[in-house]
Chains A and B, each alone.
Chain A
Amino acid sequence: MAAPESGDGNNGAARMVTLISSDNTRFEVEAAAASLSQTLQLTILDGGGGGGDGIPLPNVDSATLSKVLEYCIKHAPAAANGGAPNATAVDRAELERFDNEFVNIDQSVLYSLIMAAHNLEIEGLQSLVAKKVADMIKGKSPMEIRRTLGFPDPTPEEQAEMNAHMLEYGWAYE
Chain B
Amino acid sequence: MDAACTLAPPARDTPQPVKQISLYHCASAVAAGGVRRSSMPPPELLEENYEEILLRFPPDDPACLFRAALACKRWCRLISSARFRRRFRECHRSPPLLGAIRCQGTGTRFWPASAAKELALRRRPRRLLRD
Q: Which one of B11-19, B77-85, B100-108, B119-127 is at the interface?
A: B11-19
A to B CB contacts below 8 Å, 5 in the list: A39-B1, A63-B32, A66-B30, A116-B4, A154-B72
Residues on A with C-beta less than 8 A from B9 are: 56
Whether A57 touches B57, Cβ cut-off 8 Å, given contacts A109-B30, A139-B64, is no
**Cβ of B21 and Cβ of A58 under 8 Å apart?**
no
* Residue positions of A touching B, CB distance < 8 A: 18, 20, 24-29, 39-40, 43, 48, 52-64, 66-67, 69-70, 73-74, 105-112, 114-116, 118-121, 126-127, 130-131, 133-135, 137-143, 145-146, 149-151, 154, 158, 162, 165, 169, 171-173
User: 4 closest pairs, A vs B, by CB?
Assistant: A63-B33, A119-B4, A70-B26, A134-B56
Nearest-CB residue, chain B, relative to A53: B10
For residue A70, give the distance in angstroms from its CB to the closest CB of chain B. Answer: 4
Question: CA separation between A136 and B17, bound complex, in Å?
Answer: 38
Residues of A within 8 A of B10 (CB): 20, 24, 53-54, 56
Contact partners of A150 in chain B: CB under 8 A: 41-42
Contact with B19, one of A26, A115, A116, A118 (Cβ below 8 angstroms): A26
Q: Name the CB-closest residue of B to A115.
A: B49
- In the bound complex, residues from chain A placing their C-beta under 8 Å from that of B40 are 108
Closest to B30 in A: A67
Task: Name the residue on B nearest A162 (C-beta).
Answer: B70
Q: Which residues of A contact B33 (CB under 8 A)?
A: 61-64, 66-67, 109
Contact A28 B4 (CB under 8 A): no
Distance, CA A73 to CA B4, complexed state (A): 20
Q: A40-B5, A112-B37 are in contact. List 11 more A-B contacts (CB 8 A).
A: A43-B5, A54-B10, A66-B29, A108-B43, A109-B33, A110-B42, A130-B53, A134-B53, A138-B57, A142-B68, A162-B70
The reply to whether B16 and A26 contact each other, CB–CB distance below 8 Å, is: yes
Q: In the complex, are the beta carbons of A59 and B64 less than 8 A apart?
A: no
Q: Interface size on B (CB < 8 Å)?
A: 58
Which residues of B line the A interface, CB within 8 A? 1-12, 15-21, 23, 25-27, 29-30, 32-34, 36-38, 40-43, 45-46, 48-49, 52-58, 61, 63-64, 66-68, 70-73, 112, 115
**A66 contacts B43, C-beta separation under 8 Å:** no
Can you name the residue of chain A whose Cβ is closest to the Cβ of B115?
A171
Q: Are B64 and A138 in contact (CB under 8 A)?
A: yes
Chain B positions within 8 Å of A61 at CB level: 33
Residues of the B chain whose Cβ atoms lie less than 8 Å from the Cβ of A67: 26, 29-30, 33
Minimum CB distance partner of A67 in chain B: B30
B89, chain A: closest CB distance, angstroms: 17
Chain B residues, CB < 8 A from A63: 29-30, 32-34, 36-37
Contact at A25–B16, with CB atoms within 8 Å? yes
Whether A115 lies near B45 (C-beta < 8 A) is: yes
A66 and B23 alpha carbons, distance in the complex (Å): 9
Q: Nearest CB to that of B41 among chain A residues?
A: A150
